[in-house]
Structure 1
Amino acid sequence: MQQPMSKLGILPNYTIDIDITHNPYHFDLVDLFKMAARINKKRQFLFVSTVLGKHLAVRPQVPLLTGSLLAIMYHQHLTGQDVDATPAIVRALKEGTELENVQNAMDGYLKLDETTLFIGFAETATALGHAVFNTFQSNAMYIHTTREVLPDFEPFVTFEEEHSHATSHRIYTEQSEAFMQAQRIVLIDDELTTGNTVINIIDTLRKKFPSVKHYAVLAILDWRSEQQQIVFQQLEQDWGITIDFLAIICGHFNCQGTPSLTSSQPEIAVQDAQEITILPIQQSMEQKPYRSIAENGLVNKQPYLTATGRFMLTSAQHFKQKEALQAVGRQLTSLRTDGPALVVGTGEFMYVPMQIASYLGSDVYVQSTTRSPIYCTDEKGYTITEKLAFDSLENNGVTNYLYNVQSRPYSELFLMVERIANKKVVAQAVEALQSISNANIYVICMHEWEVAQ
């Protein structure tokens, strides 16, 4: 049944009308997103997810279960069979109860008959895609796109994204032979607006995978118009493939007015900060020895983590990596006190901090730095009321942001970085956090270990 039109305020004289056409689990809009203005001429608004753990802090189980719900929708689409866990997941997401118990039951919960490649889109959906993949026990591979440039590694594919603040995506894999065994390909993003990015990547992938005839696209929100949906029906015929779309909510929107972005926005701190201490992890982690080149030309020679899925993981590799993440979780749990804790991931590095956060007990939240420049103001009822700006900790030269950290009185804040390019930049970020939070701040770098190498 179609829901009535909703009008949501973004800023004074700037609103959005939302017409929901498909909502099988009867979520309220606020269960899944809030609205904000974005400092971007291509698109001046943003659906700020309340379930992704990106711009707003959430319990780590929330994005993990959101991925599991999408996995269940895909499984039901393939098999035509209901999945017993569905009501418990939906209830947990709506009410915020039983999150840990429900999530603990979802690892490897579903089976796949055909070898399936899951691809998560950077930067916002890297963890969402990983959470979808985590729900399948075998016959699954996962990789996420990246905006990082690895000069010593030829990308498997490159494609462009519409509406994004940074548009070029790349996929790197060392396991091209295993990659090519895929019989189905599933793309995961948090939101579809026009579907043009999906067209770009499928057009690229179908040339690399001529034997794959079945594609699926999973998203939390699908805003494609009827005309845009017809475009995909025509492409299916032209390309001789099927493209199935599955989303938690589908609908259409129309923005009205023009945002007045008059509030001053925080600038990057450039002054020298006090030296920081990196908390070394006690668990050795499997690594990939590749360097990257940031947008300002600086080279980061620190290794990547295998566990992120950036270079592709099979189900067996993934569950092996999770054992190491549990060990890191046990180490960090010993640092917790009585208050709430926040785990902060960086950019594309979202799933590993999120999974570790899920092992830290109750009253733990997770969010991530982002390159998305959301407008911040203290306007009553507005979504983003606080904003920190600093240089990217892993790719210096790219401005990153962190939002609404003061939303809870955190006792501990764990800043988790996959690859530190420059410790002075990390120190500046820590100083920015200290300026707004009284939490004990721990910086965890995944390539700094206590154990002998």
Structure 2
Amino acid sequence: MTSSVGSVPWATEEFGLDLVHGDSAVGRTVPELVIPGLRRNPRRAHLLVSTVLGKHIPTPPSVVIGAADDLGDLVRERLGVGVDVVVLGFAETATGLGHCVAARLHAHCYLHSTRRDVPGATTLAGFEEGHSHATSHLMQPTSAELFENNLPLVLVDDEISTGATAIDAIRALHGQCPRERYVVASLVDMRTDEHRAASEAAAAELGVAIDYVSLASGSTVLPLGLTERVTALDAPTLNIAGTDRGSVTRVDLPWPAAVPDGGRHGFLDADSAGFDSAVEAAVRVLDSTVAPDRALIVVGHEELMYLPLRIASGLERGGRQVRYQTTTRSPAYVMDHVGYPLRRGFTFVAPESGENEPRFLYNAQWPDEAVDALVVLIVDEPADTDRLMASGGVVEALRNAGTDVVVATVRGADPSTLRDSREGEGT
């Protein structure tokens, strides 16, 4: 799986879909940060595939965290050193990125939106994402008090195309808990002048300040007829079988009942020490499970991004060869062509009970295809079902491709346990 960074991407050569650099405060460029991909979707036929997010492309954990730290530093520069904040990450793509930014800022509270309607959780607010494959976002902190303050709210997404999702989220939260200042932080900002004007108008209407920071800004060149040409493409070939069948090993990762395994129900700065200790314990278990000379691709499950990233980072710092990425709800066009970022793909049934839409995983192989990497799939308890291991599940799809898999389950805290453990901490 050869990287196309530094060469002309295939989607640019073939379709004229181009990502043009504009500006950067940190010396990054748009073509360095994102590669154009395709989606057979009449609402939006292009996809910005990040090289530093660890979603579609297996990426060194240090690269993912380094990019997020740079983004957090830009937020700090905009707001001022020592200013406390609350942070919201957008599901599913930016749940880990948002948590990294919150950790960099030592945010009072981090919350990510979710598309998993968790039993026993209370929904604070919701909003829609127009171009996404799965559009509805829910916000389900253990209590409204976690967000009921006048601290600046930092909204984190991997890319800002129009800014509409961020504005919709700001409207929803502002109606629930008004505040004076918002910052929208993204790896790349691809808004047009029209989109920027719409954001300024929304800020004026609400009587708030809305700032934007990004590692790089630029523009997307969408040639005429792109949507029609892409949707007319033959369906991609997914779930290609290998010559040999991979093995599977299962392991439970220890996790304290009162420590959040992510930001779905709110993550307080006070939770950080317990989380860090739990991550170290999980790293030790995995490190003892897998042969020390085996290259690893740590794969998170959809919104469960930050915990697998931190585990991957711990393994990387211990000297292992590690890449990191996650599964997704979003279908994308797969083509095994040099210069295209989605070289192979898998589709499978959602492991969670009651979920009927297919799920996807892209690439899931080492950049050097000669390296026989093992996939460490990290899931939380709701995803650890019979469907996870069934013939149509992700584990079997990977094994059929010849990949060895370790399924590592984290049995994290539920909303009621968290709510009981943190009474009075949200204020």
Residue type of the alignment partner of 1:284 = W
Could you say what the CA RMSD is over the residues aligned between the two structures, in angstroms?
2.6
Whole-angstrom distance in 1 between the partners of 2:70 and 2:22: 19
- Cα distance in 2 for partners of 1:444, 1:418 equals 9
Match of 1:383 among 303, 321, 341: 341
| Distance 1:349-1:370 versus aligned 2 partners, 3 A rule | same
- The one of 399, 403, 407 aligned to 1:443: 407
> How far does residue 265 in structure 1 lie from its aligned partner after superposition?
2.9
> Which of 406, 417, 422 is matched with 2:379 structurally?
417
Where does 1:292-307 land on structure 2 (aligned, <5 Å)?
A: 306-307=260-261
State the secondary structure of the residue aligned to 2:18.
Answer: strand
Q: Structure 1 residues 181 and 336, CA, compared in 2 at 3 Å: closer, same or farther?
A: farther
Aligned with residue 303 of structure 2, among 348, 356, 381: 348
Cross-structure match for 1:324: 278
User: Which sits farther off after the overlay, 186-195 or 391-400?
Assistant: 391-400
Go from structure 1 to structure 2 and tell me whether the alpha carbon gap of 1:240 and 1:268 turns closer, same or farther (over 3 Å shift). farther
Q: Given the alignment of the two structures, is residue 234 of structure 1 paired with residue 196 of structure 2, yes or no?
A: no
Aligned partner of 1:156 in structure 2 is 124
Show CA shifts across 1:74-133 (max 9, x none).
111123xxxxxxxxxxxxxxxxxxxxxxxxxxxxxxx6333x110000000000000001
Deviations 1:422-445 (A, max 9, x none): 224334322211122343x21111
Match of 1:286 among 257, 262, 270: 257
Q: Pick from 294, 307, 326 the counterpart of residue 368 of structure 1.
A: 326
Match of 1:429 in 2: 394
Higher strand share: 1
Mapped to 1, the partners of 2:140 and 2:150 lie a distance apart of: 16
- Contact residue 9 and residue 339 of structure 2 kept, 8 A: no
Give yes or no for contact 1:394–1:418 (8 Å, CA) kept in 2: no
- Inter-partner Cα distance in structure 2 for 1:381 and 1:236: 40
Separation (CA, whole Å) in 1 of partners of 2:152 and 2:33: 28
One-letter code of the match for 1:169? H
Instruction: Supply the distance in 2 between the matched residues of 1:424 and 1:78 (Cα, whole angstroms).
Output: 46
**Is residue 53 from structure 1 mapped to residue 21 from structure 2 by the alignment?**
no
> Are 2:216 and 1:246 aligned?
no
Percent identity over the alignment is 30
Given that residues 347 and 369 in structure 1 are in contact (C-alpha distance below 8 angstroms), is that contact kept between their aligned partners in structure 2? yes
User: Which residues of structure 1 form unaligned runs of 5+?
Assistant: 1-5, 80-110, 288-304
Partner of 1:265: 237
Between Structure 1 and Structure 2, how many residues are aligned? Answer: 388
Q: Structure 1: how far apart are the matches of 2:79 and 2:167?
A: 22
Residue 367 of structure 1: SS of its match in structure 2?
strand
Separation (CA, whole Å) in 1 of partners of 2:310 and 2:363: 21
Q: Distance in 2 between matches of 1:10 and 1:184?
A: 39
| Contact 2:57–2:341, Cα closer than 8 Å, also in 1 | no
Gaps of 5+ in 2: 1-6, 414-427
State the match for 2:418 in structure 1. Answer: none
Q: Secondary structure in 2 aligned to 1:307?
A: coil
The equivalent residue for 1:113 is 83
Give me the TM-score of the superposition, normalised by structure 2: 0.84
Secondary structure of the corresponding residue to residue 135 of structure 1: helix
Change (3 A) 1:233 1:274: closer
Which of structures 1 and 2 has the larger relative contact order (alpha carbons within 8 angstroms, sep 6+)? 2
Corresponding residue SS for 1:253: strand
Deviation at 1:228, TM superposition (A): 1.4
Tell me the residue number matched to 2:424: none
Gap change, CA 1:340 and 1:267, over 3 Å in 2: closer
SS in 1 for 2:222: strand
Residue of structure 1 in register with 2:109 after alignment: 141
Secondary structure at 1:359 match in 2: helix
**Counterpart pick for 2:181 among 198, 214, 224:** 214
How do 1:35-50 and structure 2 match up within 5 A?
35-50=36-51
Q: Cα deviation per residue 1:336-393 (whole Å; 9 max; x = unaligned)?
A: 3313111110111111011011111331111100111111122343221211111122
Q: Is the 8 A contact 1:268 1:390 kept in 2?
A: no
* CA distance 1:370–1:178, shift in 2 (3 Å): closer
- 1:274–1:50 distance in 2 versus 1, CA, 3 Å: closer
| Letter matched to residue 83 of structure 2 | D
311-320 vs 376-385, which moves further: 376-385
**Distance in 2 of aligned mates of 1:364 and 1:277:** 18
CA distance in structure 2 between the aligned counterparts of 1:33 and 1:19, rounded to whole angstroms: 10
Change (3 A) 1:318 1:268: farther
State whether residues 7 and 17 of structure 1, in contact with CA within 8 Å, keep that contact through their aligned partners in structure 2. Answer: no
Normalization by structure 1: what TM-score?
0.80
1:117 and 1:363 map into 2 onto residues whose CA distance is 34
- The residue type equivalent to 1:314 in the other structure is L
Tell me how far 1:263 sits from its aligned partner: 4.8
Q: CA deviation at 1:268?
A: 11
Asked if structure 1 preserves the Cα contact closer than 8 Å seen for 2:91 and 2:115, the reply is yes
CA distance in 2, matches of 1:267, 1:336: 27
